[in-house]
Amino acid sequence: MKRRNRFVMDVLIGDTVVACHCPVTGRIGDLVFDGVPCLISTTNDPRRNTAFTVEAISIDTDRQWIGIHQGRANDFVAYCLNTDALPVFPYSKHVEREQVIGTSRLDFKVDGVYMEVKAPLTELFVTPLPRFERRAVTRPIETDRLIRHLETLIATLPATKRAVLLYVFLYDAPVFTGNPNRKQDARIRQLIRDAITNGLEIWQVNGELSREGIRLIRCVETTNHFK
């Protein structure tokens, strides 16, 4: 029914409006959250202030669920790595998560190669149904944290000769090529272009989310789209 703040969404369950955890602190497209269908999960964690988490929303003509829980994206990638389902690392043997390098933390280290996972949500690459209101489009702002992680990932290249930036969409998104309207876009693109010559690879994973879980749709290399 409403996004109360960065951390809480009000969801109508039956006849009761319930406060649910919002797993995304940033923007979710330019949506006004009013009557947007969603999937929620439950938790019994006594440390939580809310018993539910909003996992996905549905706004397009295909009525597909769009996963908004970025933590699930990392869990999904870990599962796919452990089952050899991703061609980016088709036969991974040693998978480590949350690798601290300097003042940053990269998501994965796979057989000695570092990989950072990003699940973009400031833009939703679907066409919303007319009944869903959208705010005036504003320029997405890339945080210092994102750029710091990218620079940290690139800094591993002299030693490893390979690094991976993996974009994950928990819906069937088109090939992601960045956003020319975002602030600091030129700096980010130049960082990526320079690093590609030294071994940086860009990949994209699309997953289909349902009440039962997440299914891999495809995993493709998109490095050429960033050159």
CB 54 within 8 A of CB 40: yes
- pLDDT at 169 exceeding the cut of 70: yes
Q: Is residue 62 part of a domain?
A: no
188: pLDDT strictly greater than 70: yes
CA distance 213 to 207: 10
Q: Give the global pTM.
A: 0.92
Asked whether residue 6 falls in the same domain as residue 38, the answer is yes
Say if residue 161 is exposed, middle or buried (CB neighbours under 10 Å; 0-12, 13-18, 19+).
exposed
Domain hosting 18: range is: 2-57
218, containing H or E segment = strand 214-221
- Which residue, 178, 122, 142, 27, is CA-closest to 151? 142
pLDDT > 70: what percent of the chain? 95
Mean pLDDT, residues 159-177 taken together: 96
Whether the predicted pLDDT of 30 surpasses 90 = no
**Which residue matches tokens 């933390």?**
105
Query: Does 146 map to a domain?
Result: yes
Check whether 195 has a pLDDT greater than 70: yes
Q: Describe the crossing of helices 144-155 and 185-196 by its angle, rounded to 10 degrees.
A: 10
> Does residue 188 share a domain with residue 131?
yes
Which of 67-71, 127-131, 143-147, 179-183 has maximum average pLDDT? 67-71
Q: pLDDT-derived band of residue 137, with 50, 70 and 90 as boundaries?
A: low
Whether residues 115 and 36 fall in one domain: no
Tokens of 113: 């190669």
**pLDDT exceeds 70 at position 75:** yes
Residue with tokens 């994209």: 204
Contact predicate 119/167, CB 8 Å:
yes
Task: Compute the mean pLDDT over every residue in the chain, rounded to the nearest whole number.
Answer: 91
Residues 83 and 187 placed together within one structural domain of the fold:
yes
Query: Where residue 146 falls among pLDDT bands split at 50, 70, 90?
Result: confident
Give CA–CA dist 4/46, Å, rounded.
Answer: 22
Within-domain flag for 65: no
Domain count, the chain: 2
